[in-house]
Chain A
Amino acid sequence: MSRKSSPFANLFLVIIFFVLYAPIFYLIFYSFNSGGTMSGFEGFTLDWYKELFSDTRLLIIVLNTVVIALLSALISTIIGVFGAIGIREMKRKRNQNSILGLNNVLIVSPDVIIGASFLILFTMAGIQLGFYSVLLSHIAFSIPIVVLMVLPKLMEMSPSLIDAARDLGASRWNVLTKVILPYITPGIFAGFFMALTYSLDDFAVTFFVTGNGFSTLSVEIYSLARQGISLNINALSALIFLVTVVLVIVYYYISRRAGNQGMGGMRR
């Protein structure tokens, strides 16, 4: 599909890009507004950023969010990688497909259902709502993504590679650490990174499984936004935008190296 682009096409794209980015820059623009609203720019100020950095409660929430994201991404990557290796080693195609079907349930399910069903699960199991319930649910919804990122890499690996290693006397552990894992490293990184961003971005599931006293950034923004406009959210969003752009560049670099073109596994 490579043909010359018409002026109309270019104009259309410009409008789309404008609409996509306008709200984000609107937020960032007003984070420097000395007046307290998102309408009518009165003067330049960094007060909202100062206020943000002196708000210990909010900083703790940011820290919570990052800790949950890193921990859940790490644990789900480990479980997901081993799961993917297990799926690959399954002999029967039918078993493989049914496991993959179960694997995808959490990816296609709406967040509300995941959140509500996990809430029932944790209540039945007697797990207190808070840090651990949030961590567990983030691990739970990240595992299938990791599997989907790692599995294609495993599938493209030639089985003779493993046979050769075995013939040369490698133990099973050696095969795993010296052959399989290095081969699928790009997939593992992509999976970890996806899990990280899913966790950072999640609102609906977390909203169901947080108790009182524990909050992540999305949940906090939701409750602040329901109260109306306060410009430290704008300051916060400017910072988050910066971090996101950095993460996207990192991810782009990783996926380039991994060689998969489409940015697979996206979320609402």
Chain B
Amino acid sequence: MENKVTRNLYMIPYALWIIFFVIAPILLVVYYSFLDIEGNFSLVNYQNFFTSTYLQMTLSSFWYAFLITVISLLVAYPTALFLTRTKHKQLWLLLIIVPSWINLLLKAYAFIGIFGTYGAANNLLEFLGIGSQQILFTDFSFVFVSVYIFIPFMILPIFNALESLNPTLLDAANDLGASKWTTFRRVVFPLTIDGVKSGCQVVFIPALSLFMLTRLIAGNRVITLGTAIEQHFLVTQDWGMGSTIAVFLIIIMFVIISLTGIRKRGA
């Protein structure tokens, strides 16, 4: 009996944490989604969400997140594959991860300088004879910087999946006369699909909710679900509508997780 009492004793802070910081916040968001701007109980937010403005925003948010995820995957997969073939691969992997530890805002700030009217990117374009372009505050800069930020998170799970691949399978494919491309398509890729899935999961969900980049890099041209939530909570103070969008984001999140499987980040 003593066993049980002491166990419960030190579980108390953790249990309280689950109640107050995991369960309560979700319930509060759901509760607030039913309040209109005056604080009365109503379904007006849900009605609003299904008007063209919000549906279009959700759609474009999806489109950008999809683009960001696909481009990240196209860059990250070969990177992970080539990394596994290097000597000292753990060290190289660490070096890939280091930039992801630098504060996100600083990286965004760096791109304000690089993509600015007189920044390095435009200097390069001038040098190539293309001439100066408006790069900052465009869709391109938004997607580029997002991909830049997410790439390490895509590389890591794919790298781990490739690492746990049994090398004798490659020899077997080789012995059976498969070309390099066939081996990749029929053996390597299917066996590392779990890494790809968890990579997509850790990129897609945050990409739906980026809001600082839309402000700093996209100059408010791009509005994601995250931007809309931030706008409603901190600018227009319409917490009800913000919560409604949050509810949909949570639902989307659960759908994506159930599609790609729950996995520890980076595992």
Contact = CB atoms under 8 A, between A and B. Distances in A.
Interface of A: 1-5, 9-10, 12-13, 16-17, 19-24, 26-27, 30, 37-40, 78-80, 82-83, 85-86, 89, 99, 101-114, 116-121, 124, 140, 143, 148, 172, 197, 200-201, 203-204, 207-208, 217-218, 221-222, 225-226, 228-229, 233, 237, 240-241, 244-245, 247-248, 252, 261-268
B252 to A, nearest CB: 10
Nearest to A252: B94
Nearest to A99: B18
Given A218-B105, A262-B156, A1 B163 contact: yes
A175 to B, nearest CB: 10
A169 to B, nearest CB: 15
Interface string B69-95: 000000100110111111000101011
12 contacts: A39-B116, A86-B7, A104-B262, A110-B206, A112-B249, A113-B250, A116-B229, A207-B212, A218-B104, A233-B106, A244-B101, A264-B265
B246 A27 contact: no
Contacts, number: 270
Contacts of A9: 78, 81-82, 85
Contacts of A26: 110, 113-114, 120
A12 B101 contact: no
Nearest to B211: A112
B116 A113 contact: no
B222 interface: no
A233 B209 contact: no
Contacts of B193: none
Given A82-B13, A148-B264, 15 more contacts: A9-B78, A13-B79, A13-B82, A23-B114, A103-B18, A112-B209, A112-B229, A113-B209, A116-B230, A116-B233, A172-B3, A201-B101, A204-B212, A208-B233, A237-B106
Interface of B: 2-3, 6-7, 10-11, 13-14, 17-18, 20-26, 28-29, 32, 75, 78-79, 81-86, 90, 92, 94-114, 116, 118-120, 123, 148-153, 156, 160, 162-163, 165, 167, 170, 201-202, 205-206, 208-209, 211-212, 215-216, 225-226, 229-230, 233-234, 239, 242-243, 246, 249-250, 253, 257, 262, 264-267
Contact of A27 (B11, B26, B109, B264): B109
Contact of A266 (B23, B153, B253): B153
A112 B210 CA distance: 8
Contacts of A201: 101, 103-104
B212 A12 contact: no
Contacts of B99: 20-21, 24
Contacts of A172: 2-3, 6
